[in-house]
Amino acid sequence: MSVVTETTARSEENYRVTRSRRNVAWTWIGALVVVVVLALFPYIVYSGTTTIMVQAFIVLTLASMWNLMAGYAGLVSVGQQAFVGLGAYFVLLLALHGLSPFGGLPVAAIGCGVAAVPLWWLVSRLRSGYFAIATWVLATTVMLFIEKFPSLGSGTGMPLPGLSGYSPTLLVAYTYWIGLAVTVLALGTVYLLLRGRLGLVLTAIRDDEGAARSSGARVGLARMLVFVIAAIGCGAAGGVLAISQLIVQPSAVFSVQWTAEMAFAVIIGGLGTIEGPILGTAVYIILQQTLASYNAWYLIILGLVAIVIALFARRGLWGLVDEHLHVRLFPVGYWLWAPGSNGRRGLRLRLRLRRGERHS
């Protein structure tokens, strides 16, 4: 923050500070075009493609949420499957009481957010690595608890009712659109949050927690907010999963594999950037589709790639793109224009960079 105020003070010397090097309006128009084109997909492509796209939407939503937690709030959760499962089960529960799964999805997502508050109270007592395993234990506990309800199919799960009225083609299209809507909302929320006050607080915490605390940043509250938002996002993704699978099985929706997928997508794409999860999801889906016939191979390769990237290219694939092209699709940092600069040689404020990683 201090950097920003300093530069505004010197603005009479023709320094300018903007969010992006380019006009932000173009980003918005570009995003709008992409969303409209994606929304038209069910009319253009085969249903096989839309099914893969729904999977991509689920992974992208999950990855964006995991990125918000790990990349910005420093919360490494290995138990996000708790909320994927809860979202799916809330949709099932509402559908059993006559609410359409499509109508029940927002309610289910909010329900996950509400459930996240007491769960946060439990796991926030532990830090970093122990926090990670605690979330995992919690996810398993939630699964074991839900398996105790015969009305929800106990340990075997049950088919999702309330979707038999739709024709198969229409159902595929609706599933696709709700998946797209959830993803757009998730990305939009993350973007707006990080541009706002929470984004500043989170950056301050990440750079120096003690200093952030003493400057009055409410660290605990910010972290809880992120945990709850991530729960809502993962719950919504879980709801989309239930609708696209037409069945809710505890071992499938509460599988730790969801966390593996979201974490690897984020690490490969680039932790701590909004663009990273998008790129990572694309890599994930391509790997998964290419290696689909080789069973467990795609997770082995995904895991190895994630390890290598975590060690040797810590800013992920998007970091490599950013380093060479200086592109930001979702500018949440700031750009400093030196007097008389044309932008190409503009001094860049890497406010969002990890401490000790500041180049240029």
Residues that bind another protein (CB under 8 A): 70, 74, 76, 78, 122, 125-130, 132-134, 136-138, 140-141, 144-145, 147-148, 256, 260, 263-264, 267, 271, 295-297, 299-300, 302-304, 306-307, 310-311, 314
Q: Which is nearer to another protein, 47 or 255 (CB)?
A: 255
**Nearest-approach distance from CB 261 to another protein, in angstroms:** 10
Task: List strand residue ranges (DSSP E) for the chain, in order.
Answer: 16-18, 158-159, 247-248, 334-337, 348-349
C-alpha 203/C-alpha 8 separation (Å) is: 20
**Nearest-approach distance from CB 232 to another protein, in angstroms:** 23
What distance lies between CA 112 and its chain's CA centroid?
15
**Nearest-approach distance from CB 356 to another protein, in angstroms:** 9
Q: Which is nearer to another protein, 140 or 189 (CB)?
A: 140
Tell me how far CA of residue 311 lies from CA of 136, 276, 315, in angstroms.
24, 16, 10
Strand, helix or coil for residue 78 = coil
Q: Which is nearer to another protein, 125 or 197 (CB)?
A: 125
Q: Which is nearer to another protein, 213 or 314 (CB)?
A: 314
Residue 16, number of CB atoms within 10 A of its CB: 14
Q: Which is nearer to another protein, 134 or 180 (CB)?
A: 134
**Nearest-approach distance from CB 287 to another protein, in angstroms:** 13
Q: Which is nearer to another protein, 102 or 264 (CB)?
A: 264
Q: Which is nearer to another protein, 29 or 126 (CB)?
A: 126
**Nearest-approach distance from CB 78 to another protein, in angstroms:** 6
CA dihedral sign of residues 82, 87, 91, 94: positive
Contact between 5 and 353 (Cβ < 8 Å): no
Of 45, 42, 274, 84, the C-alpha closest to 180 is: 42
Residue 206, number of CB atoms within 10 A of its CB: 17
**Nearest-approach distance from CB 166 to another protein, in angstroms:** 36
N-terminal to C-terminal alpha carbon distance within the chain: 19
Orientation angle between helical segments 101-123 and 81-96, nearest 10 degrees = 140
Contact between 165 and 102 (Cβ < 8 Å): no
**Nearest-approach distance from CB 184 to another protein, in angstroms:** 28
Q: Which is nearer to another protein, 68 or 267 (CB)?
A: 267
**Nearest-approach distance from CB 143 to another protein, in angstroms:** 10
Q: What is the DSSP string of 138-205?
A: HHHHHHHHHTT-GGGTTTT-EEPPS-TTS-HHHHHHHHHHHHHHHHHHHHHHHHHHHHSHHHHHHHHH
Tell me how far CA of residue 30 lies from CA of 33, 43, 151, 280, 335, in angstroms.
5, 21, 47, 20, 20
Amino acid at 308: V
**Nearest-approach distance from CB 150 to another protein, in angstroms:** 12
Q: Which is nearer to another protein, 76 or 181 (CB)?
A: 76
